[in-house]
Amino acid sequence: MRRGSGAVHTRLRMALAALVTWPLAAATEAQPAERTIVVSPNGAVRSITDGIARSRDGDRIVIEPGTYREPTIVVDRRVTIEGTGFPTLDGEGQREIMHITANGVTVRGLRFAHVGPSHVEDRAAIRVSDATGCAIENNRLDDAFFGIYLSRVTDCRVVKNVIRGTPRTEESSGNGIHLWSSSNVLVAENTISGHRDGLYFEFTRSTEARGNVSARNVRYGLHFMYSDSCRYLDNTFQRNGAGVAVMYTKTVAMVGNRFEDNRGSAAYGLLLKEIADPVLERNVFRGNTVGLFADGAARLAATGNRFENNGWAVKLMASTEDGRFAENEFVGNTFDVSSNSRSTSTRFDGNYWSAYEGYDLDRDGVGDVPHRPVRLFSILVEANEPTLILLRSLFVRLLDTAERVLPSLTPETLADARPAMRPLTPEP
């Protein structure tokens, strides 16, 4: 090899490497940098619609304090819209405020107010349609017909919003957070009150609701239909008109939730209707007219839940089959369990019953005689509700005692053969 040929080869390799990487470097340099567009009542850009029109994908639009009244704002490009000091977007009771149609849009730090009711359209403070990757977070929504409405969306987040409606009738109130035909949505740490349903999910798949507080809504704290493979974790549903309804679906897990003070002639902590393979774990049902009402719930698995101070802790209809209640606590309920069938395939095993009057001679923590949680009087009440007036009477106590000694009308198969002698968890 001639002298200097190594240096020549090195220069050639460097030149070739530059040729290979030049198109990528040129493309990278050609990408526009993120810009910030400021919207303010007295600035160069005075409307949010104008700010969006001036933007391009990836830009950030900052809204300064003030009140903005403009026609429905259409977000049709991938931008972040962020408020400073919660500026108000006012629908003046006449129109929807914001409609998002682009992918990857983030909306945070804004106050949406005054979306009036309508009988011909579902007006919302924030509507997202046919989009993916949206984030609606840390906003305040006041006096809106529908709060946040997601339609045909995927991979979106609705997090840490405060949604306060004006309670009206069911017909003139919308839902706080409404999901329709959507999947892979996270709904977390929102506070919702004063709507028809706090959370409403329909035809939704693989969605998680976590850490929300849904209270004092006209109808349901959560209304859930035709949606499979969803999870509800650590939510609080309190003082809603009819409680929570989960219906017409399969494979739903509800873990660590609180169902409290949902009272009324047609109110439940939780209604399960025509549902397959539901899982209930570590939930608290407290102070409800009916804690859990199961009608057509197939293969219900209830473990580690606490039913406390309810009128009826659990109502099992004859259509509920192959269920299992294990290691739950029933404390201070008027009726622990009632059923409209004398033969049921639902089994109880190892639950704690404060009404249990048995004994534990071998001191293994398990009662030596089975516990029959269905009172004869509950069967009479099921057939004729006005008999509740006799609840505290001596006659009813004698009737229940006689039935426990010689059971004749209560379901033969509905008994806990291994009742726990002490609560399974510390007093909450």
pLDDT band at 390 (very low <50, low <70, confident <90, very high): low
390 vs 294, higher pLDDT:
294
336 pLDDT higher than 60: yes
Q: What percent of the chain has pLDDT over 90?
A: 68
Q: Tell me which residue has tokens 């969605």.
A: 207
Q: Tell me which residue has tokens 């104008």.
A: 50
Helix, strand, coil fractions of the chain, as percent rounded to 5: 15, 40, 45
Write out the two tokens for 113: 């107010």
Query: In the predicted model, what is the mean pLDDT of the chain?
Result: 87
5 pLDDT higher than 60: no
323 pLDDT higher than 80: yes
The C-alpha angle with vertex 103 and arms to 101 and 104, in degrees rounded to 5, equals: 130
Return the SS3 of 354.
coil
Write out the two tokens for 177: 């957070």
28 pLDDT higher than 70: no
pLDDT band at 25 (very low <50, low <70, confident <90, very high): very low
| Distance from C-alpha of 140 to C-alpha of 160, rounded to nearest angstrom | 9
Q: Which residues pair with 36 in a beta bridge?
A: 60
| Distance from C-alpha of 299 to C-alpha of 283, rounded to nearest angstrom | 18
398 vs 308, higher pLDDT:
308
| Distance from C-alpha of 185 to C-alpha of 222, rounded to nearest angstrom | 16
Determine the pLDDT at residue 408: 52
Backbone angles phi, psi at 381, to 5 degrees: -65, -40
Q: In what order do the strands lie in the sheet with 220-225?
A: 73-75, 98-100, 124-129, 146-151, 177-180, 199-202, 220-225, 243-250, 268-276, 290-298, 312-316, 335-339
Determine the pLDDT at residue 384: 58
Phi-psi region of 7 (alpha: psi -120 to 50; beta: other; left: phi over 0): alpha
Q: Which domains does the chain have, with CATH numbers?
A: 33-241 (2.160.20.10), 263-374+411-428 (no CATH), 376-410 (no CATH)
Determine the pLDDT at residue 397: 65
Write out the two tokens for 405: 């000694």
Is pTM beyond 0.75? Reply is yes
142 pLDDT higher than 50: yes
Instruction: From residue 393, give the alpha-carbon distance in Å to each of 162, 389, 390, 397, 408.
Output: 47, 9, 5, 7, 21
92 pLDDT higher than 90: yes
Determine the pLDDT at residue 61: 97
| Distance from C-alpha of 230 to C-alpha of 184, rounded to nearest angstrom | 9
| Distance from C-alpha of 302 to C-alpha of 321, rounded to nearest angstrom | 13
Determine the pLDDT at residue 33: 76
Instruction: From residue 404, give the alpha-carbon distance in Å to each of 146, 196, 241, 408.
Output: 52, 44, 36, 9
| Distance from C-alpha of 199 to C-alpha of 176, rounded to nearest angstrom | 6
Determine the pLDDT at residue 167: 83
Determine the pLDDT at residue 289: 93
136 pLDDT higher than 90: yes
26 vs 287, higher pLDDT:
287
pLDDT band at 375 (very low <50, low <70, confident <90, very high): low
1 pLDDT higher than 50: no
218 pLDDT higher than 80: yes
248 pLDDT higher than 90: yes
Tens of pLDDT, residues 74-90: 999 999 999 999 999 99
Tens of pLDDT, residues 158-209: 999 999 998 888 888 999 999 999 999 999 999 999 999 999 999 999 999 9
The CB-side HSE value for 182 (13 A sphere, CA atoms) comes to 31
Tens of pLDDT, residues 95-110: 999 999 999 999 999 9
Determine the pLDDT at residue 63: 98
